[in-house]
């Protein structure tokens, strides 16, 4: 499927460019079916020629590509349906753009900066994108998967430098827009006047007929009322014919958002970029026909072995609960159970020991807790800085700046889930999870990515460290098994420490006694503090999501849906337990029949009770 310049046509059938401010409603997809000159076709042609010669007929040699190409245009609203149907028929369409032959759209003056060097795996991923067609001069639509720190942004910029047509980049939030703009300036010859940022705070156009627009999915797809300058920018985006559309972090974008983008923004080729082609709602397959197939996926372990990303040692540590805590856990509801898991004194001691020992080893440490009550408790007890949704922008910047530059009092920072998508985090070499978002594989991979960039320490045998602390014999064990499944698929080996005491030095218990909550009295006071708070303290942080933060909004919605499913399951389990209560041998009820009759009697309206008595 070759994407040709499409749009309004004149009386002679030639393409003409839409005027400014007029969206091209007819833009769809022009599909070209090419019979490639492969061995099978060559054999067929030779056989046909031989047969013709034997019959006394003259053979005909086809030299012009147009002689064996059939083209037709599909309505814009039906493109997705055609792609989806072809996937179902096991005949997926390969969407290609013959950009070198596109003389309708203006060329963009852009090249890689002379100081820019791309790595072999980046070059290989781009060869999968630009290897289409018999001439090898076409751009294929699809998805490239590279781990965090492996240079996804540079791959996108190199693709723009290859196509040399107007490019639109869509990101999940305004922070990413700024990062992309800075990367374009750093790695390419693009000048400021050729870059347009379209966010809530910036609505500028590029100068000239071709340039780069960097915006967010939300800004492009928002359907409510818009300010005048925002509406004019939307009209500019929708009326322009884009040679390349780069879709950043495609794994977090809901399908309905993609549909709106692809039907309102006219682009010839689409490049999706992500580090984790994983979604918790199992709709990742939709990307095959919305964007295109997976063109390339790098092997994480191979890149780590070659030094392009950090080598990581992943460890899961099981932390048993003291008896009183576990009794409280068994008797508590879900919210309080989660709080008891993260506030487990054994987990606190292990976290404290890891922080102190890794700081002494020279590591920069990030501690993640989705629970804010625990986050504050840990941070204040350990005397370490922390950031959560309620932390001011100024305070966040101050803490992260100190951490980035290695301030001695900021070797460790504690983060809530705002650190997953909403912060530009500095490099770290050690990550400790004390609580997380249930069984989210995406969050596990996202957090692993926070330490994959740590390549500056090149001591012999150095590895970044990824610790997950799990309260033993609780729901956390099941959730953790699901979370680590993605990383195991990437080739990482998880070392499971079932006996936490083996972590500590054999010094007669001196190290243990120096840690918080070692004594029974301290543990009793901690349990009293936990009992004093309500169940809501055990729930994960409700992160305030900015209007242009699609990733944050998707995470929040996904978490709410997961919590709703768990609540429904819990209610069903309680109803089943209540029903069993009425059966002989299962509680205090007077038998199954009596239990059912009692239930019916309870549900019967008083009016019908009176009628039955009559």
The pairing of strands 139-140 and 96-97 is: antiparallel
φ, ψ for residue 484, nearest 5 deg: -80, -5
Count how many Cα atoms sit within 13 Å of the Cα of residue 332 in the half-sphere of its side chain: 25
Nearest partner of 95 among 28, 160, 155, judged by Cα: 28
What lies within 8 Å, CB to CB, of 203 at 6+ separation is 229, 230, 232, 233
Tell me the C-alpha distance between 71 and 32, whole Å.
4
Is a pLDDT exceeding 90 seen at residue 484? no
The overall longest dimension of the chain from CA atoms, in Å, is 105
Tokens of 502: 């083996």
With beta carbons less than 8 A apart as the criterion, state whether 464 and 457 touch: no
* C-alpha triplet 283, 287, 290: angle, nearest 5°: 125
**3-state DSSP assignment of residue 604:** coil
Q: How confident is the model at residue 456 (pLDDT cuts 50, 70, 90)?
A: low
- Percent of the chain past pLDDT 70, that is, above it, reads 71
Is a pLDDT exceeding 60 seen at residue 82? yes
With beta carbons less than 8 A apart as the criterion, state whether 522 and 516 touch: yes
Q: What is the predicted pLDDT for the residue at 45?
A: 47
Distances (CA, A) of 201 to 207, 470, 505, 553: 19, 42, 54, 19
* DSSP type of residue 306: T
Radius of gyration of the chain (CA): 30
Q: What is the predicted pLDDT for the residue at 539?
A: 66
| 536 C-beta neighbours (distance < 10 Å), count | 10
List the single range of 185-194, 321-330, 533-542, 600-609 with lowest mean pLDDT.
600-609
Is a pLDDT exceeding 80 seen at residue 392? yes
Tell me the C-alpha distance between 417 and 367, whole Å.
11
Q: What is the predicted pLDDT for the residue at 189?
A: 95
List the single range of 128-137, 148-157, 460-469 with lowest mean pLDDT.
128-137
Mean pLDDT of 294-303: 90
Count how many Cα atoms sit within 13 Å of the Cα of residue 246 in the half-sphere of its side chain: 29
Nearest partner of 309 among 116, 119, 149, judged by Cα: 149
Q: What is the predicted pLDDT for the residue at 15?
A: 42
Tell me the C-alpha distance between 346 and 352, whole Å.
10
Q: What is the predicted pLDDT for the residue at 283?
A: 64
What lies within 8 Å, CB to CB, of 8 at 6+ separation is 15, 16, 18, 24, 26
- What's the pTM value of the predicted model, to 2 decimals? 0.73
**Alpha helices, H only, 333-456:** 334-342, 345-360, 372-382, 393-404, 418-421, 441-448
Mean confidence (pLDDT) of the chain:
78
Q: What is the predicted pLDDT for the residue at 12?
A: 42
Ranges 48-52, 487-491, 495-499, 553-557, most confident: 495-499
pLDDT tens readout for residues 326-374: 999 999 988 899 899 999 999 999 999 999 999 999 999 999 998 899 9
Is a pLDDT exceeding 50 seen at residue 98? yes
Is a pLDDT exceeding 70 seen at residue 396? yes
More confident residue, 423 or 115: 115
Q: What is the predicted pLDDT for the residue at 448?
A: 82
Q: What is the predicted pLDDT for the residue at 54?
A: 41
Q: How confident is the model at residue 579 (pLDDT cuts 50, 70, 90)?
A: low
Is a pLDDT exceeding 50 seen at residue 11? no
């Amino acid at each position: 499927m070759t994407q040709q310049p499409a749009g309004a046509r004149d009386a002679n059938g030639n393409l003409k460019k839409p005027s400014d401010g007029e969206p091209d409603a007819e833009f769809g997809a022009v599909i070209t079916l090419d019979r490639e000159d492969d061995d099978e076709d060559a054999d067929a042609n030779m056989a046909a020629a031989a047969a013709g010669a034997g019959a006394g007929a003259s053979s005909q040699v086809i030299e012009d590509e147009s002689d064996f190409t059939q083209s037709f245009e599909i309505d814009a609203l039906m493109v997705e349906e055609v792609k989806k149907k072809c996937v179902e028929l096991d005949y997926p369409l390969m969407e290609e753009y013959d950009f070198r032959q596109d003389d309708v759209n203006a060329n963009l003056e852009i090249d890689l900066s002379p100081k820019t060097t791309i790595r072999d795996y980046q070059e290989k991923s781009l060869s999968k994108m630009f290897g289409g067609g018999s001439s090898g001069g076409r751009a294929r639509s699809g998805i490239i998967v590279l781990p965090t720190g492996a240079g996804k942004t540079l791959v996108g910029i190199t693709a723009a430098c290859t196509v040399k047509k107007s490019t639109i980049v869509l990101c999940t939030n305004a922070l990413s827009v700024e990062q992309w703009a800075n990367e374009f300036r750093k790695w390419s010859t693009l000048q400021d006047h050729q870059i347009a940022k379209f966010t809530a705070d910036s609505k500028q156009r590029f100068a000239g007929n071709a340039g780069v627009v960097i915006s967010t999915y939300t800004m492009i797809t928002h359907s409510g009322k818009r300010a005048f300058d925002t509406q004019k920018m939307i009209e500019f985006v929708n009326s322009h014919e884009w040679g390349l559309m780069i879709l950043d972090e495609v794994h977090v974008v809901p399908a309905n958002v993609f549909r709106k983008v692809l039907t309102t923004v006219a682009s010839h080729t689409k490049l999706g970029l992500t580090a984790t082609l994983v979604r918790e709602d199992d709709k990742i397959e939709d990307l095959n026909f919305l964007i295109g197939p997976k063109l390339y996926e790098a092997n994480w372990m191979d890149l780590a072995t070659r030094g392009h990303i950090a080598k990581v040692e992943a460890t899961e540590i099981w932390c048993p609960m003291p008896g009183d805590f576990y009794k409280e856990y068994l008797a508590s509801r879900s919210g309080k159970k989660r709080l008891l898991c993260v506030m487990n004194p054994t987990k606190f001691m292990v976290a404290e020991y890891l922080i102190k020992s890794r700081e002494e080893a020279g590591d920069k440490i990030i501690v993640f807790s989705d629970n804010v009550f625990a986050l504050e408790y840990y941070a204040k007890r350990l005397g370490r800085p922390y950031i959560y949704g309620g932390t001011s922008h100024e305070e966040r910047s101050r803490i992260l700046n100190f951490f980035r530059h290695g301030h001695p009092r900021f070797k460790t920072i504690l983060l809530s889930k705002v650190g997953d998508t909403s912060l530009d985090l500095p490099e770290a070499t050690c990550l400790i999870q004390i609580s997380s978002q249930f069984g989210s594989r995406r969050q596990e991979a996202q957090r692993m990515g926070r330490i994959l960039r740590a390549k500056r320490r090149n001591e012999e045998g150095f590895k970044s460290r990824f610790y997950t602390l799990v309260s033993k014999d609780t729901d956390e064990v099941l959730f953790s098994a699901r979370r680590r499944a993605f990383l195991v698929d990437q080739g990482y080996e998880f070392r499971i420490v079932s006996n936490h005491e083996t972590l500590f030095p054999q010094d007669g218990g001196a190290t243990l006694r120096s840690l918080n909550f070692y004594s029974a009295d301290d543990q009793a006071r901690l349990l009293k503090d936990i009992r004093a708070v309500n169940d809501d303290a055990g729930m994960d942080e409700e992160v305030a999501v900015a209007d242009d933060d699609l990733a944050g909004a998707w995470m929040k919605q996904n978490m709410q849906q997961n919590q709703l499913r768990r609540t429904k399951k819990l209610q069903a389990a309680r109803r089943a337990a209540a029903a069993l209560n009425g059966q002989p041998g299962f509680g205090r009820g007077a038998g199954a029949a009596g239990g059912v009759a009692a239930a019916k009697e309870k549900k019967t309206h008083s009016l019908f009770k009176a009628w039955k008595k009559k």
